[in-house]
Structure 1
Amino acid sequence: MTHSEINSTETTSTPLREDRYWVDGCFDFTHHGHAGAIRQARKLANELYVGIHTDEEIYVNKGPVVMKLEERVTAVEACKWCTKSVPGAPYVTDPEVLDSYGCKYVVHGDDITTDADGNDCYQVVKDMGRFVVVKRTPNISTTDLVDRMLSSRTTHHIESITPSNYSSHVLINDEDSLTRFKDYATAVDAKAPWSGVYVSVDDKTSVLVEPAAGVADKLKKNAFYVDGGFDLFFMGHIEFLRLVHEEAQRSNAVVVVGLHDDATVNSVKGENYPIMNQFERALCVLQCKYVDSVVIGAPFTPDEPFINSLSPHMTIKQVLHGPTPIVGEKGTKTVDPYVYVKEQGIYKQIGPHKYDDVSSNKIVDRVLEYREQYEERQRKKGVKAVNERDLEAIEKATAK
């Protein structure tokens, strides 16, 4: 699909709007770093258009994609700060495309992205004074995630929160972590509060980020709960959450996601899973427009003590699960973790949906199937990174 094929509803006569911004990218594994850029761009604008490159253009300029265009579009459109997605956006940002959508400015992180020829993809719009820089999210990239998949490391995992380490745990006490939780919990304008962030430790639930008053009110009256690892936060998770959100909307309820910690996910999946750690997965879930609150460290089994621990903050009226099978430690069969909520008559299975056959294992299998290509992509990325750092140094020196 090319940009001309999808650009049928917009025309070159669209007037430029000072409050309509543009951001573009590959958005392969639409992780919290992508969401962070989108959030910062949305905070500057009343409307944010998000351009998504084709598989073919990404292959030429960067290497093979893991997620196909349709899958990447699904992820981008689920981000609550995206006003409109534009599939087929050119890899080298074209001011004529921006004009056709009425977008005055382009937003990008404080790093340089180059095309296959080593040229800055944003040089033209920079020269036109239509380029806005935001802070790049540190310590995460698609390249990082692919590297984790191609290795067996678990050094990215975060220790579980316990009563003994609660007062010093990085997710609760680190200022940067708390700031990012608050940022990703914001509403569609990327400014006002929205989602609540809670922490579950030994059947006690505390508040990390207070939800907006309207969300808090609905939480107390009618909350729909789902749980899981949500590793790599891909289109299967998103489609499931969309269906849950629709179900909740019909009952004037809000959606709460219980997120298992790294040790719990690893006990089920084994190897070096989860590929994304608990902090990264929490941010991915928080940025999704189908989610209203998150409980970090939720137990594998939503039993009576856990449900009761939530009651000061929310009333769970339904617990929903997707069409995927329930597995236990290292993938073996287990006692049904939903026995209690089934006995209470509040359990419901939802689905099927068009991505219900996709799992994090299958996403990793895509990488491993083409291991040589992805390793070559990683090598080329390293070479490109040197060139991009050189260009960045030149740009900074020129700016002085």
Structure 2
Amino acid sequence: MYERPEGIENCRIWIDGCFDFAHHGHAGAMLQARQLGKELYVGVHSDEEILKNKGPTVMTLEERLAAVTACKWSTKTISDAPYVTDPKVMDKYDCKYVVHGDDITTDANGEDCYQLVKDLGKFVVVKRTPNISTTDLVGRMLLMTKTHHYKDLNKNYKDLLTEDNLTRFKNYSTDETGLHEGSGVYLNLPDEPKLKTIISPNFDITKEKLVYIDGGFDLFHPGHIEILKIVNEKAQNLGAKVVVGIHDDLTINKYKGLNYPIMNIFERSLCVLQCRYVNGGIILNAPYKPTPDFLSKLGNVIKVYHGPTEIDENVYDSITDSNIFEEISKHKFDNMNTEFIVNRVLNNKAAYEERQKKKGWKSEIEKVLKSKESRDIPSS
């Protein structure tokens, strides 16, 4: 159903949504949309429109715009896009087709948000990313579950490198067109003298100057994005590429407790990979304390950065005596961290629980519409 229109590769594509939390499902939709055309314009709904049609957002419009703009596959971000996709708005930005996942999205009245553009032949379907949504993430916070965590990667990293996950790593490491090789994906194993290359980049990392920053990057948010943007600017001035180390689930849970991280290492890694400010690649299972021995595995690391967030004592002790370590000062989203976002949800627990119920009610309507659509439209 909904075959790819002839000549779509020469067209500007439209995609829209709430984009509440910058999770990899959103990025996956933008990637597929960008792969279809020459440019991608991303419409972001207002807080008021989302509240009316879906329920309260966790992230503000400014925060959601920052997240969408940071996705390397988005060409331009459009604020206050209508919740029901309007062909006139698409025409205003010269977008010939709208792309959406293979599910149904309804408005407050239970009507298909894309029916108008479907009727006009402007609608193109891509595969929806399974097992992740803002609703899922809010549910993890409310229910305090840990079943999404990966176990000790030092003992069994193959659970992380399944065929499906490897395909996703390859797709998310592509360049801004989504069609060609881009950044690299590496795995750190403490007992191994070299990093394990999972996805090769489009450059020789041994010949590049590198800057390094590490962290959990849980619920990938504007605080993370802003620090990576600053690091990227510094790297450009130094003629270097940005490499990001990502800690495993066990390490984060050890230091933060409860059910942290809310996103597992696979989900967090894809969020970092899709960011336009990360052009060198990512290191899975990066050590909590970056040592000279670890940094030598990467190559020519000329700077190690850390943001304005608090860190445990002694984490950077082994490199603070050199000129390599640099702390980054305050920035406009420096008040934001994962706990800050989780507290937003917990402080408004009743409202988000109601949102979860509303999602359940709407999903039944959406299933009916999906079934009807499948009967009405002949398969290609």
The residue that corresponds to 1:116 in the other structure is 108
The residue that corresponds to 2:368 in the other structure is 390
Contact 1:181–1:209 at 8 Å: present in 2 too?
A: yes
TM-superposed CA distance for 1:81, in Å, is 0.2
The residue that corresponds to 2:190 in the other structure is 202
The residue that corresponds to 1:90 in the other structure is 82
The residue that corresponds to 1:241 in the other structure is 228
2:185 aligns to what SS in structure 1? strand
Between the aligned partners of 2:208 and 2:15, the Cα distance in structure 1 is 38
1:125 aligns to what SS in structure 2? helix
- 1:77 matched to 2:69? The reply is yes
Which of residues 141, 163, 168 in structure 2 aligns to 1:180? 168
The residue that corresponds to 1:59 in the other structure is 51
The residue that corresponds to 2:325 in the other structure is 347
- 1:229 matched to 2:216? The reply is yes
Percent of aligned pairs with the same amino acid: 55
Between the aligned partners of 2:156 and 2:235, the Cα distance in structure 1 is 35
2:260 aligns to what SS in structure 1? coil
- 1:259 matched to 2:246? The reply is yes
Contact 2:10–2:38 at 8 Å: present in 1 too?
A: no
Gapped regions of structure 1 (runs ≥ 5): 1-15, 328-333
1:93 aligns to what SS in structure 2? coil
The residue that corresponds to 2:305 in the other structure is 320
TM-superposed CA distance for 1:160, in Å, is 2.4
What one-letter code is carried by the residue in structure 2 that aligns with 1:326?
Answer: I
Between the aligned partners of 1:203 and 1:150, the Cα distance in structure 2 is 38
Any idea what the Cα deviations from partners look like across 1:359-386, whole Å, max 9, x if unmatched?
A: 1001000001110000000000001011
Between the aligned partners of 2:337 and 2:69, the Cα distance in structure 1 is 20
- 1:361 matched to 2:339? The reply is yes
Contact 1:25–1:91 at 8 Å: present in 2 too?
A: yes
1:89 aligns to what SS in structure 2? coil
The residue that corresponds to 1:302 in the other structure is 290
Gapped regions of structure 2 (runs ≥ 5): 1-7
Q: TM-score under structure 1 normalisation?
A: 0.90
TM-superposed CA distance for 1:17, in Å, is 9.8
Between the aligned partners of 1:59 and 1:130, the Cα distance in structure 2 is 27
What one-letter code is carried by the residue in structure 2 that aligns with 1:119?
Answer: E
Between the aligned partners of 1:107 and 1:90, the Cα distance in structure 2 is 15
Would you say how many aligned residue pairs link Structure 1 and Structure 2? 368
Q: TM-score under structure 2 normalisation?
A: 0.95
What one-letter code is carried by the residue in structure 2 that aligns with 1:177?
Answer: N
TM-superposed CA distance for 1:143, in Å, is 0.1
Between the aligned partners of 1:197 and 1:78, the Cα distance in structure 2 is 19
What one-letter code is carried by the residue in structure 2 that aligns with 1:246?
Answer: E
TM-superposed CA distance for 1:18, in Å, is 4.7
2:59 aligns to what SS in structure 1? coil
Over 3 Å counting, the alpha-carbon distance change for 1:117 and 1:18 in structure 2 is farther
Contact 1:203–1:309 at 8 Å: present in 2 too?
A: no
The residue that corresponds to 1:5 in the other structure is none
Between the aligned partners of 1:123 and 1:182, the Cα distance in structure 2 is 33
1:64 aligns to what SS in structure 2? coil
TM-superposed CA distance for 1:351, in Å, is 2.3
2:318 aligns to what SS in structure 1? helix
